[in-house]
Amino acid sequence: MTERRYVVLDLFVFHAIAGDDVDLLSKTVTVLRLIKDKCHTILLTRELKNEYSERVREIEKSKRKIYVDIRLLKFVKNLLADRDKVEEVEYLPGEQELEFLRKVVPEKDLPIVGAALSKPATSVVIITTDKRHLVDNEALKAYLKRVNPGVEVIHLDEYVKLDP
């Protein structure tokens, strides 16, 4: 049996749906298929789930104005609705911890980091395309290593290579 892997996805999924970057689209489809076909679970805080829902609504409203990969949008909606593939989690950091995280990552990325930290002593992978704020953020890496060494931040390109 395949080991369960917990993943947190940043918003690159929605850039792939509504963007014109074919490489991003291809890698996003690969990662989402891996999640669907393997024993992977997407972790979402309520805030992140609301952000995903809002992005889906925005894309659905604008699909006549911009190019949208309808198949990928439908796939994402179905995946997010699959209770076996999505786990809603809660992360309630202490005041000092939140203050520190706000210094280390932008406010928009706090729900992503929070979702990953919601599973103490568990292996969680944050899959992202944000090199500056997440992948190459040494302060964040040091913090994660101290608080939950099981959390890894991996660029989408690397994750596609790691999990064939």
**pLDDT per residue as tens digits for the range 75-118:** 899 988 999 999 999 998 889 999 999 999 999 999 999 999 99
152 bridge partner residues = 125
Q: Which domains does the chain have, with CATH numbers?
A: 5-162 (3.40.50)
How high is the pLDDT of residue 162? 79
| 101 Cβ contact partners less than 8 Å away, ≥ 6 residues apart | 93, 110, 113, 143
pLDDT at 1 over 50: no
User: Which positions ≥6 away from 95 have C-beta within 8 Å?
Assistant: none
Query: Which residue is associated with the tokens 């608080």?
Result: 147
pLDDT tens-digit series, residues 9-67: 999 999 898 888 999 999 999 999 988 888 899 999 999 999 999 999 888 888 666 67
Mean pLDDT across the chain: 89
Q: What is the predicted pLDDT for the residue at 99?
A: 93
